[in-house]
């Protein structure tokens, strides 16, 4: 339940049957404009799956796991069964306590560099789950990516369908999911009363303001992390989701904050241009900025009874 998910859709459902748990994608919560192939939806479920594995390891429970167990139903993403002679990865247990502390932090970070040792630990966390992790801290590269992000903001906010979809997940009537207005990083709207924010997003092309806000956040963040995979299919997305959460929890333990700047990956033509980044020769899946931030509030969650049966 505490995993990150795009637009805080929480697109997962858990079916518990004795000592077995099945994780299903809840495609009713899909974002058809920004995520037409459910790539980010599956990534979000992968993050939830990683939390489940970390929790089982914390409890000392060994398990057998089958990914995509049903060829007939692509919504069934994973089946876990607790078995005494199963898999128990002791390295995951220490990450458990970070699950409740992890939060997406869209505020500015301090410019204090992230040390090479910590970068290496973040890289290893992602690689352990099968994703490539590219650390980008050179100023020139960060600036080039900042330009791609600003360009993507302009493309996305120019599209009324994108704005409508985003607005519906920032809606003030949402209590258990979606994003509070300020958490979307909409600094241009900071002085607008919350119920009006969704209206403003839906109605106006705020691309210029978003681009400027994101450009300054990006250039002020000491480290970018790109998670990438050799192939671009559902199993790869599930792996990236697990890698994402492992990286994020590792960052929490290192005292670091993270937030997302996925826009250039969500716009097809810009995803290709991102590939020109040195060291990046596989498909970019997620772009994070990492640094030291000040505490921010948690976003809402759906009640347990609605995500588990």
DSSP class of residue 35?
-
Query: Does residue 103 touch ligand FMN according to CB under 6 A?
Result: yes
Cβ density class 88-117: b for 16+ within 10 Å, e for less: beeebbebbebbeebbbbbeebeeeebeee
Measured from the CB of residue 197, what is the shortest distance to ligand FMN in angstroms? 14
Sign of CA dihedral 281, 142, 37, 247: positive
Cα diameter, the chain:
57
Query: Does residue 43 touch ligand FMN according to CB under 6 A?
Result: yes
CB 53 within 8 A of CB 35: no
Nearer to ligand FMN, 115 or 269 (CB): 269
Nearer to ligand FMN, 81 or 292 (CB): 292
Measured from the CB of residue 2, what is the shortest distance to ligand FMN in angstroms? 7
DSSP 183-244: GGT-GGGTTS-HHHHHHHHHHS--HHHHHHHHHHHHHT-SEEEEEEESS-SHHHHHHHHHHH
Query: Does residue 179 touch ligand FMN according to CB under 6 A?
Result: yes
Site pattern 135..174 for ligand FMN (x: CB under 6 A): ----------------------------------------
Measured from the CB of residue 46, what is the shortest distance to ligand FMN in angstroms? 9
Measured from the CB of residue 33, what is the shortest distance to ligand FMN in angstroms? 13
Taking CB positions, which residue lies at the least distance from ligand FMN? 4
Taking CA atoms, 138 is separated from 208, 224, 225, 244, 282, in Å, by: 25, 9, 12, 22, 20
Query: Does residue 242 touch ligand FMN according to CB under 6 A?
Result: no
Pick the stretch among 40-48, 67-75, 155-163, 213-221 that binds ligand FMN (CB under 6 A).
40-48
Count of residues near ligand FMN by CB under 6 A: 18
> Residues 22, 44, 51, 156: which binds ligand FMN (CB under 6 A)?
44
Q: Which residues bind ligand FMN (CB under 6 A)?
A: 4-8, 40, 43-44, 47, 103-104, 106, 179, 185, 259-260, 262, 299
């Amino acid at each position: 339940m505490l995993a990150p998910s795009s637009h805080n859709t929480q697109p997962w459902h858990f079916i518990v049957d004795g000592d077995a748990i099945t994780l299903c994608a809840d495609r009713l919560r899909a974002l058809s404009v920004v995520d037409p192939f459910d790539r980010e939806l599956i990534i979000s479920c992968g993050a939830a799956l990683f939390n489940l594995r970390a929790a089982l390891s914390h409890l000392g429970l060994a398990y057998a796991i089958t990914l995509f167990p049903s060829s007939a139903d692509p919504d069934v993403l994973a089946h876990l069964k607790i078995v005494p002679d199963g898999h128990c990865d002791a390295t995951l247990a220490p990450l458990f306590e970070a699950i409740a502390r992890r939060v997406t932090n869209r505020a500015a970070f301090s410019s204090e560099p992230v040390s090479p040792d910590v970068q290496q630990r973040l890289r290893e966390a992602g690689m352990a789950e099968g994703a490539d992790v590219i650390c980008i801290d050179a100023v020139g590269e960060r600036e080039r990516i900042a330009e791609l992000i600003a360009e993507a903001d302009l493309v996305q906010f120019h599209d009324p369908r994108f704005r409508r979809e985003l607005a519906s997940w920032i809606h003030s009537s949402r209590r258990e999911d979606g994003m509070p207005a300020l958490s979307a990083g909409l600094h241009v709207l900071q002085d607008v009363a919350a119920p009006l924010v969704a209206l403003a997003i839906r109605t106006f092309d705020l691309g210029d303001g978003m681009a400027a806000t994101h450009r300054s956040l990006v250039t002020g963040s000491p480290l970018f992390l790109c998670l990438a995979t050799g192939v671009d299919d559902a199993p790869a997305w599930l792996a990236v989701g697990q890698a994402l959460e492992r990286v994020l929890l590792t960052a929490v333990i290192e005292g670091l904050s993270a937030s997302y700047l996925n826009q250039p990956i969500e716009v097809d033509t810009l995803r290709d241009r991102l590939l020109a980044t040195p060291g990046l020769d596989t498909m970019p899946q997620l772009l994070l900025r990492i640094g030291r931030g000040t505490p921010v509030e948690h976003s809402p969650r759906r009640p347990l009874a609605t995500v588990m049966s």
